[in-house]
Amino acid sequence: MKLPIYLDYQATTPVDARVLEAMLPYFSEQFGNAASRSHAFGWKAEESVEHAREQIAAAIGASSKEIIFTSGSTEAINLALKGVAEMYASKGKHLVTSLAEHKAVLDTCKHLEKLGCEVTYLKPDKTARIAPEQVRAAIRPDTVLVALMWANNEVGTLNPIREIGAVCRELGTLFFTDATQAVGKVPVDVEADHVDLLCLSAHKIYGPKGVGALYVRRKNPRVRLAAQMDGGGHERGMRSGTLNVPGIVGLGKACELARTELVAESARCRELRDHLQQRIERELGFVELNGHPSERLPGNLNLSFHFVEGESLIMGISDVAVSSGSACTSASLEPSHVLRAMDVGEDLAHSSIRFGIGRFTTREEVDYAADALVKAVRRLREMSPLYELAQEGVDLKNIQWQGGH
């Protein structure tokens, strides 16, 4: 077993050796531009890009003509939200999303609000889920888009996407889902799930960083987007720019592997995650699970530890790579916006750790992480007077503290 141990698979994943092998020729002998229509180098590149489109479409139940390549999910989210808002402005300027979304969605919505759109932010329940009834109640005649994530990147909770999609379809509103964490981990089928737009990113499914895709439905209904990047009219005019052929080949291969190995891999990750959770809960008291107990990603475990500060805990297990909150915003000292939206108290939000288990995680690594964590929590709690009181059965909520406040 090599140290440090990587348990942050929701932040990013290593590139699978089979993905790298598929990509390598496209850096050297197959270096053509997929838009070069007059010679074999371009044709070969274009053929490989089209093959990747088919691999990606197969992973989500779409047709290859519905796949638009982007630099990742953040760009795909910007294109979907801004593209719909601009294209359908004559129908209305109202969007629906949730307080637990990824910052890429929330910040894009904030930008659209500055341009005159109105956004309804639904509040998730204590497990981070949005109910279909909430969506139904929020949709108005001028609603052009509902944007809700499939799986939460911090706590792993899965939204009831199929039911939400059915509500949007019934009420004639487009439905976008950020499926960055879901594709390859749980079954995704854009037809059965009534999804009109969906984004995914290669680096969450053992592909390279800097490449992703946006699914844009072509019929029943046909979705139209205003391009956010102008140029040579690549990608059916929706996203100009020379295609990243090696990256796209890698994304295609990663999607194919994710699709064919989904059942076995999900079962293996779930088993390791449950083992980690059971070990921690057996050996430590005062531990809370954040997120839904069953409707969750197989490889995600987000726990809060009473009487411990999260950053000190992460430093205390320095040879285990985990995170507090989301990778994109973990540099800030604010408690996670997701945990706040779930009404997790400030203290507990600051003591939350996300463990991400993936394709290359071993049982030995999980046991090592559990040992290190239990040891660190016990050491930190020894320094906490509150922990002593709690052990004695004192209800800390009812203590009257002396002081000037």
Q: Which is catalytic among the residues 117, 199, 255, 328?
A: 328
115 half-sphere exposure, CB direction, 13 A CA radius: 15
Q: With cut-offs at 50, 70 and 90, classify the pLDDT of residue 404.
A: low
pLDDT (tens digit, 9 = 90+) per residue, 201-255? 999 999 999 999 999 999 999 999 999 999 999 999 999 999 999 999 999 999 9
pLDDT at residue number 401: 66
pLDDT (tens digit, 9 = 90+) per residue, 39-52? 999 999 999 999 99
Tokens 């071993």 identify what position? 362
Q: Which CATH architecture has domain 5-9+261-382?
A: Alpha-Beta Complex (3.90)
Instruction: Report the CATH fold assignment for 17-258.
Output: Aspartate Aminotransferase; domain 2 (3.40.640)
pLDDT at residue number 287: 96
Q: What is the mean pLDDT of the chain?
A: 95
What's the 3-state SS for 141-177?
CCEEEEECCCECCCCCEECCHHHHHHHHHHHCCEEEE
For the question of residue 328 being annotated catalytic, the response is yes
The domain segmentation of the chain, as residue ranges, is 5-9+261-382, 17-258
Residues 6+ away with beta carbon under 8 Å from 51: 249, 252
Q: Report the 10 Å Cβ neighbour count for 299.
A: 24
Whole-model pTM: value is 0.94
pLDDT at residue number 397: 75
Q: What is the mean pLDDT of residues 3-29?
A: 98
Q: Report the 10 Å Cβ neighbour count for 230.
A: 10
pLDDT (tens digit, 9 = 90+) per residue, 169-182? 999 999 999 999 99
Asked if 69 and 239 touch (Cβ cutoff 8 Å), the reply is: yes
Q: With cut-offs at 50, 70 and 90, classify the pLDDT of residue 326.
A: very low
Asked if 152 and 125 touch (Cβ cutoff 8 Å), the reply is: no
pLDDT (tens digit, 9 = 90+) per residue, 64-121? 999 999 999 999 999 999 999 999 999 999 999 999 999 999 999 999 999 999 999 9
